[in-house]
Amino acid sequence: MRDIVNKIFSRFKWIRSLRTRLFVIIFLVGFIPGVIMRSAIVSSYEDRGIDVRRFEVQNQLNIIADHLIKYNYLLDNSSEIVNAELNQISNLYDGRILVINGALQVVKDTYYLIEGKTVISPQVIRGLKGISFSTYDRNNQYIEIVTPIIETIGTLNATDEMPEGTEIYHGVILTSVSSDSIITTREILSRKSAIVEMILFFLLLAIALILSNLLVIPFDRVTKAISQVREGLDDEPINVTDYTETEHILDAFNELLRRMKVLDDSRNEFVSNVSHELKTPITSMKVLADSLLAQSDVPEDLYREFLVDIAAEIDREDTIINDLLSLVKMDKSAAVLNIGNVDINVLTEIILKRLRPIARKNDVELVLESKREVTAYVDEVKISLILTNLIENAIKYNKKNGLVTVTVNADHQVFIVEVIDTGSGIPEEFIDHVFERFYRVDKSHSREINGTGLGLAITKSAVLLHMGTIGVVSNEGEGTTFTVRIPLNYIK
Ligand code: ADP
């Protein structure tokens, strides 16, 4: 069923249009109540008309029934007053009246057709039992009213056998009145309302068309504004405030636009930084090679010296490319993590052992302060990358006879590694930037110290992959402390 509906919807795209739906809704909401109201009014008019007529005729017949008793009409039908009354009613309501006595004999027929004849019908029998009722024959359009002729014994006539208030059923007035006039009025009413309905139909068609087009204009405006952004004509935040809905859509769109711009800017900056960093060693190599080529009979020692420099530049290029690759790998999803149980103290110990020769070369002492045993469920390679980068920096940017202290601690949720050095420190104005790609604090001084400016960016990415945090506190001239907090159990 759903498939069929989907098929229909995809074939007739216009059904899915908000404009079409609004048009249909406005039209139906206006038209359906109109049609229902018309048919309700017309049909209730007929019922009400019949009821009113029954009531009117019945009232008059009750009066006549009294007159029939009063003028003893059932025994002698010559009373002019009663005859005039009977004729008046039958003319007025376009009907026929039969006055029937207790012996089922027709005393009076306003059509003069069956006077003196006997009538036996269930209606007459019921009427003779004192039951007053009426029926409506919708097909033949007439109302039949049965009015019993009842004499109530008064005080003067009361006897022992018939005390006061006794009712004697003398006969029945059987009346049929036509409902033609009611039906005719109903038909006129129906015709007139059909015309009104027709006018309403076209009016609603026009209103629905205009309104449905007007109501979707803000959405058209949203589409236009978004297309302009897409075509690059406009990159300012856009706003269509006609509806709360359009405002919400565009708020979400503007937020997306803002994020895309940030991403675009950072991508551009990254590309230009990468190009610049990769170009520097190549330019140096080109200068070295050109200066060799420019001279003839270059001594072998100079060749060697220049080649050593070229090899150093190649190494630098290699380091930058490797760092970039690590960064790209780190930017991918957490799926690249190879999680396992790692003893953080042992891992730190191994790293310190590996870095000790470099530290010794820089006259820096490395100390491990383990506050407790820590085993964490993490990616060992990435954690060792984090620790190596931080400790390498702490050695690189340290003073002569400096100290690097690495502390390992944990609470019940995270393990904490602090790398504290006694180096030059990072000036406060630069501290917020150290995790940016290619950022180096003191460019002129940094040239003497090997580095690409990517180490801390890689470190931060690795920490974030583990849902951890990294912070730095530094006092210029006194030293720097990097603090890493990583959850003991990796949660995706
Ligand atoms: P680099 O390859 O230059 O070391 P990093 O991203 O590792 O790049 O570090 C960025 C910059 O932050 C460094 O150039 C340095 O100026 C500064 N920095 C990092 N660690 C320290 C530290 N322990 N002491 C002082 N400065 C540091």
Q: What angle do CA 276, 446, 329 make, to 5 degrees?
A: 55
Going from the Cα of 440 to the center of ligand 1, the distance in angstroms, rounded, reads: 6
Query: What would the two tokens of residue 458 be?
Result: 């890689």
pLDDT tens for 158-210 read 888 888 888 999 999 999 999 988 999 999 999 999 999 999 999 999 999 99
pLDDT computed for residue 154 by the predictor:
83
Residue 103: what pLDDT? 92
CA of 454 to the centre of ligand 1 (A): 9
Read off the tokens for 310.
């070229």
Long-range contacts of the stretch 120-127 (C-beta < 8 A, 24+): 123/172, 123/174, 124/100, 124/172, 124/174, 127/100, 127/172, 127/173, 127/174
Closest ligand 1 atom to 453 CA: 8
Ligand 1 atom closest to the CA of 482, numbered from 1 = 23
φ, ψ of residue 77 in degrees (nearest 5): -90, 30
Q: Would you state the pLDDT for residue 443?
A: 55
pLDDT > 70: percent of the chain:
97
**pLDDT at res. 15:** 80
Q: Atom of ligand 1 at shortest distance to CA of 479?
A: 24
Confidence grade of residue 336 (pLDDT, cut at 50, 70, 90): confident
pLDDT for 446 = 52
Contact 171/74 with Cβ under 8 angstroms? yes
Ligand 1 center to residue 425 CA distance, Å? 10
Tokens of 143: 């109302």
**Token digits for 391?**
């400790």
CB contact at 8 A, 90 and 97: yes
Distance between CA 330 and CA 388 in Å, rounded? 16
Contact in structure between 485 and 416 (CB atoms under 8 Å): yes
Total length of the chain = 492
Outline where DSSP puts E strands in 102-166.
106-109, 133-137, 142-152
Buried b (16+ CB within 10 A) or exposed e, 216-250: bebbebbeebbeebeeeeeeeebebeeeeebeebb
Give me the pLDDT at residue 277, please. Answer: 81
- Average pLDDT on 145-163 reads 87
Instruction: For the sheet with 106-109, list strands across it.
Output: 106-109, 95-101, 167-178, 142-152, 133-137
CA of 304 to the centre of ligand 1 (A): 32
Distance CA 95, CA 81 (A): 19
What is the predicted pLDDT for the residue at 10?
74
Q: Which two tokens stand for residue 33?
A: 């109540």
The Å distance, Cα 307 to ligand 1 centre, comes to 29
Q: Which of 35, 82, 39 is nearest to 63 (CA)?
A: 82
Q: Which of 430, 441, 445 to mutate to test the pocket of ligand 1 (most atoms within 8 A of CB)?
A: 441
pLDDT given for residue 205 in this prediction: 94
- Cβ neighbours of residue 341 closer than 8 Å, sequence gap 6 or more: 375, 376, 377
Using one digit for the tens of pLDDT, what is the confidence trace for 243-295?
899 899 989 999 998 888 888 888 888 888 888 888 888 998 999 999 889 98
DSSP 399: P
Written in H, E and C, the secondary structure of 276-330 is HHHHHHHHHHHHHHHHHHHCCCCCHHHHHHHHHHHHHHHHHHHHHHHHHHHHHHH
Question: Ligand 1: residues within 6 Å at CB?
Answer: 389, 393-394, 397, 421, 423-424, 426, 434, 439-442, 446, 451-457, 480
pLDDT recorded at residue 81: 92
The predicted model scores a pTM of 0.55
Per-residue pLDDT, 348: 97
Backbone phi and psi for residue 2, each to the nearest 5 degrees, phi listed first: -60, -40
Residues 8, 14, 16, 17, Cα dihedral to 10°:
180
CA neighbours closer than 13 Å in the CB half-sphere of residue 11: 6
Q: According to the model, what pLDDT value does residue 236 have? A: 75
Handedness of CA 105, 107, 111, 113 (dihedral sign): positive
Question: What's the Cα-to-Cα distance from 481 to each of 398, 425, 447, 455, rounded to whole Å?
Answer: 12, 9, 23, 16
What whole-number distance in Å separates Cα of residue 269 and Cα of residue 437? Answer: 10
Tell me if residue 97 falls in helix, strand or coil.
strand
What φ, ψ does residue 298 adopt, rounded to 5°?
Answer: -80, 130
User: How large is the angle between the packed helices 380-396 and 455-465, nearest 10 degrees?
Assistant: 150
Q: Which residues pair with 176 in a beta bridge?
A: 96, 144
Q: What is the mean pLDDT of residues 33-43?
A: 90
Structure tokens at 296: 């003839």
Residue pair 221/89 in contact by the 8 Å Cβ criterion = no
- Euclidean distance between the first and the last CA atom of the chain, given in angstroms as a whole number: 40
Percentage of residues in the chain having pLDDT higher than 90: 62
Q: Are 277 and 452 in contact (CB under 8 A)?
A: yes
> Mean pLDDT, to the nearest integer, of 204-224?
92
* Cβ-contact 218, 238 below 8 angstroms: no
